[in-house]
Structure 1
Amino acid sequence: MRRALFLFTIACSFYQSTEAQNPEFENLRTIDTWLQSNINDNNLSGAVILIADKDNILYSTTKGKSNLESQRDMEVNDYFKIASLSKVITTVAIMKLYEDGNFDLDDPIELYLPIFKDTKVIIEDSSSENYTLESTEKKITIRQLLNQTAGFAYDGPIISKLYKEKSLSFSNPTHESLSSFMKDLSSMPIVHQPGEKFTYGPSTDVLGYLIEVVTGQNLEIYLEQNIFEPLGMASTGFDAHRQSIDKLVRAYSKKGDSLKGINKELDLKKEYKTKVFMAGSGLISTASDYIRFCQMLLNNGIYEDKRILSRKSIEMMTTNQIGGIDYPKGFYPILGKGNKFGFGLNIITENGAFNEFYSEGSYYWEGAYSTTFIIDPKEGFAALMMTQLGGWHSLKVRKDFRKSVYKTLK
């Protein structure tokens, strides 16, 4: 493991802007400098950054405020809405069930979820708002749900209207259970033929429902018993923040020269209990919890001698699973033209544009509020930033975070 590539040691495990005189800390402190600069410029309210190898936390810094209104300082064990970082956790859960022989990846989803048997495809008239529906030419498979080519979309000219008519909300579901939510989702069409394009959408939520049906457990319990408990992620779950609700970090977006709170906060009632477990976006976690998950991925499925997933499953997740399909243009600024999608992850390819310093074969993912990680097996590290910043401005912050990490390499 090329640990010497980092200008930091295990001794700085909980480094908090230490005024170290050792010149070897100079590059290490550039991460602190970058973070503080973004806070000073109102690009971020605050953040927790952790860097680890497969065994140890190599670097940790926490700066800024978790809530600008109350001026509460950010703390390393604060709770974050991890949004689409939930997808990677659900993907691991699915691969675990696949390893155990519960299904094959190319099985039609309707074998296990018959409500999706008659899914239709939207055929739009590009000159108007008219559309027709046609039957799928092929069955939607579990593999297509994993690689986001199944045709499910979060939004679009037609599908957004249909969701609204059905009162389907992915960020704030009002249904009584995941099964009732899925019943309504199954009545919605997909936006293209299965396997034809990459379309980012609620495919992972369908996989969450598959977990419930296959295991006979609700998603919350399955994840807790099979991922969170083995990894020691005691502060991760759909309601993990309820006992310390003041420690939930508030989300902001950049408006002009200042940060404004995003009015999409979770129900802050302590007694509230989540009913619809959204596998693609609903989890709450802390930086110290999620870095353990990243270390497990970096170490090919093992964390502290506990095997969560096989090495071959990790390989499948972290290699191209969409073949010659390209990301749509709207995804280029986020993931880079020429890069590819594995299962739940963006994979850096040899020919991918916007790769910056990244090694070929490294991979990362992000959440809507800028929780983000990158794992580089060649350099032997996982880097995680937990913050709560929405809007298009956040794309540059996420990218600059990754750059600031790579700048510390010799």
Structure 2
Amino acid sequence: MKIKIIIVATILSVTYGKARAQQEFKNIDAWLNKHTHEMGGRAILLVYQDGKVIYNHSVNDMSMKQKFVQRMVAEKQGKTADLDDYNVKTRAAIASCSKWLSAALVMTFVDEGKLKLSDTVGKYLPVLSQHGKGHITIAQCLSHLTAIKAAPLKQNLQEMKNISSMDEAIQDIAILPMEGEPGKVFHYSNAGLQIAGAVLEKISSKNFETLFAERIARPLNMQNTDFGKKKVALPAGGAVSTPQDYLNFLVMILNKGTFNGKRILSEASIAQMQINRITPDVKVAYSPAEAGNFGYGYGEWIMGPHTVSSPGLFGSYPWVDTQKKYAAFLMTFYLKSDGRQARYLELKKLVDEVLQ
């Protein structure tokens, strides 16, 4: 009799748990239905836990105006506008989500002993020493603590279109003014990771795109992710990826450096990346409004004691919760950032409730 009671209780518990999870996933469905229009008209959310994708939902709520804009942009680029629903293989520019990928690439060199976080950049890029920036460290490049007063992100993206070599990109950074002492000023920009990318090219005699493909994309089966395959890679914002590809990267972060049994980064490197470098003695010269009071590690924002993320200019939002042991990726494409942080936190809260 006791055994029957236990079995019935177990069945009821499992059934109740599934029903509750389905109900709470419906809340996430409702959230996407409500907010997708204001996030560019299209969105897809993937959630991964316990070795599998437990949630995959996309919404297409594009207005006539949004479709018109998409057609106009595509026409200027000599392309045909893609107005289909987002899916796991949809390729899109991910802007600053790229920073996480690039920081991980740098850490592969640290793991191999080919680079130290304490190395100064002038050792590899003499032009920076000529302009008083040679003492900046690799660690400071990864955490926006170079103290270089860089141009606004959108302006920098526009200027990069006219750059024909990595050396030229570094020469332009070399002449920028300083706004304090390296390590003591946080200024969210593209400069530090551009410098780090140039250092990798000097060390390896390979271009950044090739290094990323060899060390990150292929081992993580990110078949549709690259940095645009242009003359000069933009490590801080030039990647194009898919929800499935980026989720593979997040799974590696969640698993403390491994993916499908392969070691991509050491546990030590994962831990280093997740330490908040915006300490009380650091002046915040510039931080995106949607970042709020988040901390920053290497290529990633620290959203709290257990969550790391690297949102992009176009609204895509990846995150890893190390306490609840799950990873998630929201892909969107829009520029208006009003209310983003509140939406990010609201969405994460809904997912957290499902995964209690």
Same fold (TM over 0.5): yes
Alignment of 1:340-355 (within 5 A): 340-349=295-304
8 Å CA contact retained: 1:49, 1:60: yes
Aligned to 2:94: 82
When the two structures are superposed, what TM-score results if normalisation uses the length of structure 1?
Answer: 0.72
Aligned to 2:284: 328
8 Å CA contact retained: 2:274, 2:308: yes
8 Å CA contact retained: 2:277, 2:295: yes
Aligned to 1:292: 248
Secondary structure at the counterpart of residue 384 of structure 1: strand
Asked if 1:58 corresponds to 2:54, the answer is: yes
Report the alpha carbon displacement of residue 389 of structure 1 after superposing the two structures with TM: 1.9
Aligned to 2:231: 275
Distance 1:190 1:29, change over 3 A: same
Alignment of 1:346-385 (within 5 A): 346-349=301-304, 360-385=305-330
Asked if 1:45 corresponds to 2:41, the answer is: yes
8 Å CA contact retained: 2:108, 2:265: yes
Asked if 1:401 corresponds to 2:347, the answer is: yes
Aligned to 1:118: 130
Distance 1:300 1:327, change over 3 A: farther
Q: Which moved more, 1:274-283 or 1:318-327?
A: 318-327
Percent identity between matched residues is: 25
Distance 1:31 1:153, change over 3 A: farther
Aligned to 1:210: 199
**1:239-279 deviation line (CA, Å, top 9, x unaligned):** 3xxxxxxxxxxxxxxxxxxxxxxxxxxxxxxxxx5111001
Report the alpha carbon displacement of residue 371 of structure 1 after superposing the two structures with TM: 1.1
8 Å CA contact retained: 1:54, 1:295: no
Asked if 1:147 corresponds to 2:143, the answer is: yes
8 Å CA contact retained: 2:187, 2:286: no
**1:302-324 deviation line (CA, Å, top 9, x unaligned):** 00001100001000101123433
Write the distance in 1 (CA, Å) between the matches of 2:329 and 2:216.
Answer: 19
Distance 1:279 1:43, change over 3 A: closer
Write the distance in 1 (CA, Å) between the matches of 2:50 and 2:165.
Answer: 37
Aligned to 2:23: 26
Secondary structure at the counterpart of residue 319 of structure 2: strand
Secondary structure at the counterpart of residue 224 of structure 2: coil
Report the alpha carbon displacement of residue 169 of structure 1 after superposing the two structures with TM: 4.4
Match of 1:311 among 241, 259, 267: 267
Asked if 1:35 corresponds to 2:47, the answer is: no
Q: What is the aligned residue count? A: 322
* Equivalent position amino acid for 2:300 in 1: L
Write the distance in 2 (CA, Å) between the matches of 1:169 and 1:46.
Answer: 24
Write the distance in 2 (CA, Å) between the matches of 1:288 and 1:301.
Answer: 18
Secondary structure at the counterpart of residue 170 of structure 2: helix
Secondary structure at the counterpart of residue 186 of structure 2: coil
8 Å CA contact retained: 2:99, 2:310: no
Aligned to 1:94: 106
Write the distance in 1 (CA, Å) between the matches of 2:327 and 2:283.
Answer: 24
* Equivalent position amino acid for 1:59 in 2: Y
8 Å CA contact retained: 2:58, 2:85: no
Write the distance in 2 (CA, Å) between the matches of 1:46 and 1:179.
Answer: 38
Write the distance in 2 (CA, Å) between the matches of 1:171 and 1:282.
Answer: 13
8 Å CA contact retained: 2:32, 2:59: yes
Match of 2:211 among 218, 222, 227: 222
8 Å CA contact retained: 1:370, 1:398: no
Secondary structure at the counterpart of residue 319 of structure 1: coil
Report the alpha carbon displacement of residue 68 of structure 1 after superposing the two structures with TM: 2.3
8 Å CA contact retained: 1:231, 1:292: yes
Write the distance in 2 (CA, Å) between the matches of 1:64 and 1:328.
Answer: 38
Distance 1:286 1:190, change over 3 A: same
8 Å CA contact retained: 1:237, 1:284: yes
Distance 1:366 1:327, change over 3 A: farther
Aligned to 2:77: none
8 Å CA contact retained: 2:39, 2:315: no
Q: Tell me, which stretches of 5 or more residues in structure 1 are unaligned?
A: 1-8, 10-20, 121-135, 240-272, 350-359
Where is the helix percentage greater, Structure 1 or Structure 2? 2
* Equivalent position amino acid for 1:32 in 2: D
Distance 1:88 1:23, change over 3 A: closer
Alignment of 1:173-188 (within 5 A): 173-188=161-176
Secondary structure at the counterpart of residue 321 of structure 1: coil
Q: Tell me, which stretches of 5 or more residues in structure 2 are unaligned?
A: 1-13, 69-80
